C-alpha cells in the first residue's frame, strides 16, 4: 500500500485582510448614503457589500486554519474548512437575494421618492472598490474554491453597483423611482447566479464526489494502461480541499517479486499525478480479483451484463 501527500499554503491572507478593512469602511459609507437617498438599490448593494466583507473574513479564516498541521484526530488537517467557508458564503448570498426580492416587492407596491445623485456617486465608488479587490484576488481564485467564493462576491457586487448607477441615472433624469426596486430585483438574480456554481461545487466536495471535469472511467483506463496492471477495482476519487485531490484503488497484478510490484505501484502513482493532478494516492497491489463488497466493481459488472 502506498501514500503520496501534497500540501500547498495559499499566500493571499494579507490581501484578504486589506480587502476586509476597505470593504467594511465602504459598507458604512454606502449604508448612510442609502438611508439618506431612500434608495433600496443602494441599501441592497450595501447589504451585499457587508456580505462581501463577511465572505472575505470567512475566506481569510479558511486559508489561515488550512495551514495548520494535521493531528492524530484530524489526519487530513483542516483543508476542508475552506470548503465549509465557501459553502457558508454561497448560502449567505442566496439569503441576501431572497431578502432583496422581499423588500423590492414591497417597494413596487408602495413607491418611495428616491434621490438619484447620491446613488450614482456612491455606487460609482463601489464599482472602483469591488473591481480593484476582484483583480487582487483573481489569480488565487483560479486554484482555490474558498478564495473563488470571495472573488465571486466581489465581482457580483461590482456588477450590482453598475446596476445601481444605471438606476440612479434613470431616477435623476426621469424621476421614475420604480427603477430602484426593478434594479434591486436584477441584482438579486445576479447574486443567485453567482452563488450557484460555488454552492454546487462545495456540496460536491463535502459529498466526496469526483472532482469537476474529471471522468472516473478515464482514471480507471489510465490505471489499467500501466504496464503490469491486469485490472482495477475499489476505485475512489474525491477532494479533501482546494488543490488536494485523493485517490484510492486496488490494482491486480500477476504473481511477481516485491520489487516488480513496487514498479507497478510507482507507475500508477506517476500517471495519476501527471494526467489528473492527483497527488495523494493510496494504492493496494494484489493478485486476487474483485472483492464482493466493492461497489464500483459490482456496478461495472452489472452494466457489462446488461449490455
- Sheet bearing 280-286, strands edge to edge: 2-3, 280-286, 244-252, 231-241
Q: What is the rounded CA–CA span in Å between residue 202 and residue 147?
A: 12
Strands 2-3 and 280-286: antiparallel
Q: Verify that 178 and 221 share a domain, yes or no.
A: no
Any residues with CB less than 8 A from the CB of 129 and at least 6 apart, and which? 22, 23, 26
186 and 257 both lie in a single domain: no
pLDDT digits (tens, 9 = 90+) for 168-187: 788 777 777 777 778 778 87
Kindly state whether residues 257 and 190 are assigned to the same domain. Answer: no
Please say whether the dihedral angle defined by the alpha carbons of residues 24, 25, 28 and 33, taken in this order, is positive or negative.
negative
Query: What letters, b where the CB count within 10 A reaches 16 and e where it falls short, cover 25-34?
Result: ebbeebbebb
Are 230 and 185 members of one domain?
no
Instruction: State residue 71 phi and psi, 5-degree precision.
Output: -125, 175
Q: How far apart are CA 117 and CA 122, in angstroms?
A: 9
Please check whether residue 296 lies inside any domain of the structure: yes
What's the whole-model pTM score? 0.63
Residues 22, 160: one domain?
yes
What pLDDT is stored for residue 219 in this prediction?
Answer: 93
In a domain, 16, yes or no: yes
For residues 202 and 222, membership in a common domain is answered with no
Dist. CA 85–CA 55, nearest whole Å: 8
What is the per-residue pLDDT across 265-303, written as a single tens digit (0 to 9) for each? 899 999 999 999 898 888 888 875 455 555 555 455 455
Residue 4: which residues within 8 A CB-CB, separation 6 or more?
A: 269, 273, 279, 280, 281
Show the cell assigned to 135: 483583480
Beta bridge partners of 281: 247
Q: Domain range for residue 233?
A: 216-306
Q: For residues 283 and 138, state if they share a domain.
A: no
Work out the angle at residue 84's Cα, subtended by the Cα atoms of residues 199 and 2, and round it to the nearest 5 degrees.
110
User: What pLDDT, on a 0 to 100 scale, did the predictor assign at position 73?
Assistant: 77
- Give the per-residue pLDDT at 11: 57
Q: Confirm whether 238 is domain-assigned.
A: yes
In a domain, 223, yes or no: yes
| Together in a domain, 131 and 163 | yes
Q: Which residue has the cell 423590492?
A: 104
Query: Helix (H) and strand (E) counts for the chain?
Result: 9, 4
Question: In Å, what is the CA distance from 304 to each residue of 210, 251, 298?
Answer: 22, 19, 10
Which of 161, 181, 206 is at the close of a domain?
A: 206
Whether 1 maps to a domain, the answer reads: no
In a domain, 211, yes or no: no
Contacts of 232 (CB under 8 A, 6+ apart): 220, 223, 224, 249, 250, 251, 252
The answer to whether residue 146 sits within a structural domain is: yes
Q: Is residue 185 part of a domain?
A: yes
CB distance 267 to 241 below 8 Å:
no
CA 248 to chain centre: 24
The verdict on 231 and 128 lying in the same domain is: no
Name the domain boundary from 206, 231, 250.
206
Distances (CA, A) of 97 to 54, 83, 159, 250: 15, 21, 14, 46
CATH of the domain at 31: 1.20.1510.10
Chunked into runs of 10 residues, the chain (307 residues) has average pLDDT values of 44 76 84 78 73 78 74 73 79 82 78 71 83 83 75 78 80 76 80 80 85 88 90 88 83 80 88 89 76 53 52
SS3 at position 252: strand
CATH number for the domain spanning 299: value is 3.30.70.1350
Domain identity same for 138 and 181: yes
Q: How many domains does the chain have?
A: 2
pLDDT, position 291:
55
Contact 72, 38 (CB under 8 A): no
User: Same domain for 45 and 145?
Assistant: yes
Same domain, 145 and 269: no
DSSP 306: H
Which of 182, 206, 230 is the endpoint of a domain?
Answer: 206
235: three-class secondary structure by DSSP: strand
Amino acid at each position: 500500500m502506498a501514500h503520496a501527500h501534497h500540501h500547498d499554503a495559499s499566500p493571499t491572507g494579507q490581501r484578504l485582510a486589506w480587502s476586509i478593512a476597505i470593504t467594511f469602511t465602504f459598507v458604512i459609507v454606502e449604508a448612510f448614503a442609502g438611508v439618506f437617498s431612500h434608495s433600496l438599490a443602494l441599501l441592497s448593494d450595501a447589504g451585499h457589500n457587508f456580505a462581501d466583507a463577511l465572505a472575505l473574513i470567512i475566506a481569510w479564516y479558511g486559508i489561515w486554519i488550512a495551514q495548520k498541521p494535521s493531528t492524530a484526530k484530524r489526519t487530513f488537517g483542516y483543508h476542508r474548512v475552506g470548503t465549509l467557508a465557501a459553502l457558508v458564503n454561497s448560502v449567505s448570498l442566496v439569503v441576501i437575494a431572497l431578502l432583496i426580492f422581499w423588500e423590492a416587492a414591497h417597494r413596487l407596491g408602495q413607491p418611495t421618492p428616491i434621490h438619484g445623485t447620491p446613488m450614482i456617486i456612491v455606487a460609482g465608488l463601489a464599482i472602483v472598490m469591488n473591481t480593484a479587490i476582484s483583480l487582487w484576488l483573481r489569480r488565487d481564485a483560479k486554484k482555490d474554491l474558498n478564495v473563488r467564493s470571495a472573488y465571486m462576491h466581489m465581482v457580483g457586487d461590482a456588477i450590482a453597483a453598475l446596476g445601481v448607477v444605471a438606476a440612479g441615472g434613470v431616477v435623476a433624469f426621469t424621476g421614475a423611482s420604480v427603477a430602484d426596486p426593478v434594479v434591486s430585483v436584477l441584482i438579486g438574480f445576479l447574486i443567485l447566479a453567482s452563488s450557484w456554481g460555488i454552492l454546487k461545487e462545495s456540496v460536491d466536495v463535502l459529498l466526496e464526489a469526483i472532482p469537476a471535469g474529471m471522468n472516473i472511467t478515464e482514471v480507471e483506463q489510465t490505471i489499467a494502461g500501466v504496464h503490469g496492471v491486469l485490472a482495477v477495482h475499489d476505485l475512489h476519487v474525491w477532494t479533501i480541499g482546494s488543490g488536494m485531490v485523493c485517490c484510492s484503488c486496488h490494482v491486480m497484478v500477476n504473481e511477481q517479486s516485491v520489487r516488480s510490484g513496487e514498479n507497478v505501484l510507482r507507475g500508477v502513482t506517476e500517471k495519476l499525478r501527471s494526467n489528473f493532478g492527483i497527488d495523494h494516492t493510496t494504492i493496494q497491489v494484489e493478485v486476487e480479483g474483485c472483492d464482493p463488497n466493492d461497489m464500483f466493481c459490482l456496478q461495472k459488472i452489472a452494466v457489462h451484463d446488461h449490455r
